[in-house]
Chains A and B, each alone.
Chain A
Amino acid sequence: MAKKAAKSNGSSTAPATAATPSEVAALAVCARHGNKPDELLEIFHELQHQLGYVPEATLPVISKALNRSRAEVYGVLTFYHEFRRHPAGKHVVKICRAEACQSMGTDALCDHAERSLRTKLGGTTSDGAVTIEQVFCLGNCALSPAIMVGEKLYGKVDPKRFDEIIGSLEKEAAE
């Protein structure tokens, strides 16, 4: 891996070539964005949407396609909380921990989530079904506490409603 990475970081101007499926996907995404370096965030978003995370192994080809150093590309990936470098569970559940939700008991909700799913915030359940993450503000502050599952937002989530939501995910998965 290290050898390969060092090679692809060379000063050669030859176009980036892909070997693995994730590299192929990464190059296709870059091409769709015109290989423009300013669209790096959009590229990461799209890649994460496709693969569930941004494999570090794709960084050499991305850096080559965008003509930016690997350090820069890696730096961008690691700066933003939203980007994942490792696969997450099937469902990602974001729990808002910001002030408005605190005033309505998000701390208790987080405790409940950690206990009932037997994993810490940032972790994934042992069956790989659910990842829980902390997030700061989902813009639903008048209907706190708020959580988001994928792109679906939920308001007024007390522990009981939380269990119902998680239950519906599990049911969905079973079907």
Chain B
Amino acid sequence: MIKVFVPRDAAALSVGADEVAAAIAKEAKSRNLDIQIVRNGSRGMLYLEPLVEVEMPGGRVAYGPVAPSDVTSLFDAKFYEGKAHALSHGPTEEIPYFKNQERLTFARCGITDPLSIEDYRAHGGYVGLSKALHMKPIDIVTEVTNSGLRGRGGAGFPTGIKWKTVHDLPGAEKYVVCNADEGDSGTFADRMLMEGDPFCLIEGMTIAAVAGGATRGYIYVRSEYPHAVHVLREAIEIARKANWLGDNIQGTKYAFDLFVRMGAGAYICGEETSMLESIEGKRGIVRYKPPIPAIEGLFGKPSIINNVMSFAAVPIIMTEGGEFYKNYGVGRSRGTLAFQIAGNIKQGGLVEKAFGVTTRQLIEDWGGGTATGRPVRAVQVGGPLGAYIPESKFDVPMDYEEFAKVDAMVGHGGLVVFDDTVDMAKQARFAMEFCAIESCGKCTPCRIGSTRGVEVIDRIIDDVDRSKNLALLQDLCVTMADGSLCAMGGLTPFPVMSALRGFPEDFHKPSPNKFLADAAE
């Protein structure tokens, strides 16, 4: 029997993976070929999606991007024997885009059937948890601390310290909460992992539960990710049946159960305290800190709260040891980060790489430049609240501290590339507009400041008292950065100020509304 892989990842589906799979099944039937189609996760080479792979004795061979209309010619060329075709890329794992990565968290993604727990175990799954179940909880915490893992959601807070806080607190009611509200533009790593290797996240959260003494966990997934929600719910059910969740996990004293909660289109719910409110069935209004959520988190109880990528890094850390993980990376940024190359890019996709790689390497070596073929002008790193960096900073290594030195942030490693047609004043305006739309409204600098920000930038664009308004904008940014309750208002000035600093010429163009400028004089 021939095994053919067609991803079920939402990105692959968005460019016709289902239609391709159906066409392959139909063609195989009409040619009387015994072909089994496995719906795997994505390999992360999204520019090649739908990427069809055939299992050969020497490893898988890749074809992509495949359209349903290519299927007949693929069969004519005997792709099912790994033969050459115009869309052939040879062995998948020899494609430089893939080969030059360091896949730790995403080691299984695209290789296994996401909903096969047997597949998961055959590829090293549940080794970490099996170890953890027979360790002292504090030793698990120590292992995670030693790995140097820092919160992958963007803030980069050491994961081990959070876990230790919860571990040290008394009480029987504790929670593990996964923040899967991946709302930042330019990011899709969480989604890819949840859809492509859900057991990895479930295992990581279970390890956290054992370490922290929690018995109940929640995964808060945004409603824009229906595929991820379906896969997770199914995977949790499978894990329960196989006794990897529930009471007396694998015959031990540990009990842990997991539930998926779906968000409802509120960006702010990616902020952890707002997310907690939302899981409790309330408006996603940010909470004051302290108390920190590790101490008084979900339902007021101690809670380990991490991002999908942080939890998903834990199984490999437990399997291979903290030292192994720590050996990747630079400075105080240890391990790997799943960089996401997005936007105006020729070869967009996911690149898991140790910290230290540069923006230039990612967008040139992997990304191959812009999709439009025009020069790259700006790259926004770390989501809508991350800085726009100009070409002069493309060689700064991806490292939390190095990026902070140039007033930028690595965040979750999402890169949105813009070509030279971008208008940075417009992008700065959008940052404020987005904040105005998504602010929870609790604190004044964010709620009002963002709306005033849009107005001030409009006046700058329209050349109405431009120099005064530029000064006012900077002043407003300082107020928002220093006075906001959470990162939403606190970091919105980041993209705005970075646009002002890196691309000042865009704020000094002739007004598109000439009469407004004239009227102001």
Contact = CB atoms under 8 A, between A and B. Distances in A.
Contact of B224 (A45, A75, A104, A138): A138
B384 A99 contact: yes
A103 B11 contact: no
Contact of A100 (B261, B262, B416): B416
B345 A142 contact: yes
Nearest to B266: A80
The contact size tier of chain A is 35 or more
Nearest to A133: B265
A148 interface: yes
Contact of B11 (A36, A94, A140): A140
Interface in A100-157: 100-104, 135-144, 146, 148, 151-156
A141 B438 contact: no
Contacts of B427: 99, 102
Contacts of A146: 14
Contact of A142 (B184, B280, B342, B419): B342
A41 B15 contact: no
Interface in A75-104: 75-76, 79-83, 94, 96, 98-104
A143 B11 CA distance: 7
Interface string B407-448: 000000010111100100001001000100110000000000
B341 A42 contact: no
Contacts of B265: 80-82, 135
Residue among B183, B185, B280, B437 facing the most chain A CB atoms (10 A cut-off): B185
B263 A41 contact: yes
A172 interface: no
A142 B224 contact: no
B188 interface: yes
The contact size tier of chain B is 35 or more
Given A38-B280, A41-B262, A142-B342, A99 B185 contact: yes
Interface in B305-344: 340-344
A77 to B, nearest CB: 9
A141 B410 CA distance: 17
Nearest to B344: A103
Contacts of A83: 264
A40 interface: yes
Interface of B: 10-11, 13-15, 46-47, 49, 182-188, 191, 223-227, 261-267, 278-285, 299, 340-345, 348-350, 371, 380, 384, 414, 416-419, 422, 427, 430, 434, 437-438
23 contacts: A40-B282, A41-B261, A41-B262, A41-B264, A44-B264, A72-B282, A76-B281, A81-B265, A99-B416, A100-B185, A100-B342, A103-B422, A135-B224, A136-B183, A137-B187, A139-B182, A139-B224, A140-B10, A141-B340, A141-B414, A143-B46, A144-B342, A155-B11
Closest 9 CB pairs of A and B: A142-B348, A98-B185, A141-B342, A82-B265, A80-B264, A40-B281, A155-B14, A81-B265, A82-B264
Given A79-B284, A98-B384, A155-B11, 18 more contacts: A38-B279, A39-B281, A42-B261, A45-B262, A80-B265, A80-B266, A103-B343, A104-B343, A104-B344, A140-B10, A140-B11, A141-B185, A143-B11, A143-B15, A143-B348, A148-B224, A153-B10, A154-B15
Interface of A: 36-42, 44-45, 66, 72, 75-76, 79-83, 94, 96, 98-104, 135-144, 146, 148, 151-156
